[in-house]
Each structure stands twice: as structure tokens, then as C-alpha cells.
Structure 1
Amino acid sequence: MTCKNDQYETVCKDEFSELHTKLDVIDVALRGNGKPGIQIRLDRLEQDRISRSKVTWFILGALTTVAGSIVSAWIRGLL
């Protein structure tokens, strides 16, 4: 897109300024500008999900071991 000089001053300059302002707002939202942005917040959510998944599997493994021990003791007649 090309703008003539007078058209640039009357129309394009304001449009470009508005676009730069909108891009700055998007950049601040993504990067955070001193506070957590979308990238960091998303990474934290993903890390939290991974941690919860590991804890869930650990608990399921422990419960399976306990259940297996109880069934084994019951079969051997210890309970």
C-alpha cells in the first residue's frame, strides 16, 4: 500500500499511530512489562498441570499397592 504525501499526513499517519498503539498493548499483554504476561502465566499453568499429573499417578500407585497388599493378606488368611 502506498500513500501520497498529503494522504499520508491526513489519513495514513493517524492510522499507523493507532496500529502502533494497538500493537504496544498486545505486546504488553504477551510479555507483561514488569508483571507476568500471557506467556509466563500459560507456562505456569502448564507446569502446574504436569505437577498435578505426577501427584495423581503417585497417589494412584500408592492406592494400588495398598489394595494389592490387602487382597494378598486376605487371600493368605491374615485378615
Structure 2
Amino acid sequence: MTCKEQYENVCKDEFAGLHDKLDKMDEAIRGNGKPGIQVRLDRLEQDKLSRSKVVWFLLGIAGALLTRWVMR
């Protein structure tokens, strides 16, 4: 069996299957018109950052109110 025959008989279908799997993974990561993993992860990170800022803001208010109450 020559290399070309072996490619046609064995490798060609295997490579086609690998290309299909890679295309599906690429679509999952990039989204292809829908939010992909990259966009969803970025949204989660931005949401976490926003929540962190709100928590520190609320803790600052609570600390100020507690200080005011203690100083009375």
C-alpha cells in the first residue's frame, strides 16, 4: 500500500472527523453569532468586579455609620 492509498483509505476520514471536532470547539469558544465561552467568561469577570466594588462601598458606609454611632 502506498502512502497515497493509505491516506485515502485511512487518514482522510480521520482528518475530516478531527476538522469537524475542531470546528465545533472553535464555535463553542468564539460563539459564531451567539455568546461563546470567551464572551460569557468576560461577562462573569466583569460582574464579579462590579459586585466587589458594591461590597466595598457598602462596607465603607457601614463603617462610617458605626463610627458615627460610636462617637455619640
- What's the offset of the Cα at 1:13? 0.2
Q: Is 1:51 paired with 2:50?
A: yes
Structure 1: gaps spanning 5 or more residues: 74-79
Q: Which amino acid aligns with 1:55?
A: V
**Rg (Cα) greater in structure:** 1
Structure 1 residue ranges, 4+ long, deviating more than 2 angstroms after superposition: none
- Match in the other structure for 1:34: 33
TM-score computed with the length of structure 2 as normaliser: 0.96
Q: How many residues align?
A: 71
- What's the offset of the Cα at 1:53? 0.2
Secondary structure of the corresponding residue to residue 34 of structure 2? coil
- What's the offset of the Cα at 1:39? 0.2
Structure 2: gaps spanning 5 or more residues: none
Coordinate RMSD, CA, aligned: 1.0
Percent of pairs identical after alignment? Answer: 61
- What's the offset of the Cα at 1:14? 0.2
- Match in the other structure for 1:76: none
The CA distance in 2 between the partners of 1:25 and 1:55, in whole Å, is: 38
